[in-house]
Amino acid sequence: LQSATLFDGTLFTLRSNSITAYGFADGNERTLHQREDGGRFHANVLADRQGVYAVSAPPPGHAHERLMAFDPNDGKVTWSVALPSAMRHRDASQYAALGAGLLVVPAGDQLIAVEPTRGRRAWAYAVGAEAHFVVVHGPHVFCGDAKGNLHAVDARTGHGQWQLPTGSEAAFTAD
């Protein structure tokens, strides 16, 4: 088990090649989506009214990761967006975040924001170093980078608001 998220009475879990849904009321387990192309999921699983989301590692013969959306009822892919990164593995510092009507995912030295309803890229923000620890809070997106900077980005526009050197990679959360 790599990751889990709760939404609307369902626990969604992510394993390397599948997303599984568990009903709160009855405990019923069902495989929402199974990778058949040799690709693997990595990082975290997220869910909202529009769907269930995960980042897939590049399958054999492909160069880029993909941010993918699935119908929460039947598990069919509703959209898929190529990311400008080719990570074969993501750790917890490179998880995607959901908020302000966006999915925001670190992709190499960029943050990529995608509209969950259509899978349309809303904006990209150049971090300047490998992006880590994304948090969306209200109209703001915060992320750390591999050089030890903390960035604040306007969630609506993708424009940088400020950058602060912290001296080290920082993990943080917003309430």
Task: Tally the residues of the chain.
Answer: 175
List of residues 6+ apart from 50 with CB closer than 8 A:
69, 116, 117
Q: In this predicted structure, what is the pLDDT of residue 51?
A: 96
* Backbone dihedral region for residue 29 (phi beyond 0: left; psi -120 to 50: alpha; all else: beta): beta
Closest CA to 145 of 114, 96, 100, 111: 111
Q: In this predicted structure, what is the pLDDT of residue 91?
A: 66
Q: Using CA atoms, how far apart are residues 96 and 128, in angstroms rounded to an integer?
A: 18
Neighbours of 168 (CB within 10 A): 8
Local confidence band at 74 (pLDDT 50, 70, 90 cut-offs): very high
What mean pLDDT, rounded, does the chain reach?
A: 88
Local confidence band at 38 (pLDDT 50, 70, 90 cut-offs): confident
Half-sphere exposure of 158 (CA within 13 A, CB side): 17
State the pTM of this model.
0.89
Local confidence band at 19 (pLDDT 50, 70, 90 cut-offs): very high
Flag the least confident range among 120-124, 125-129, 134-138, 170-174: 170-174
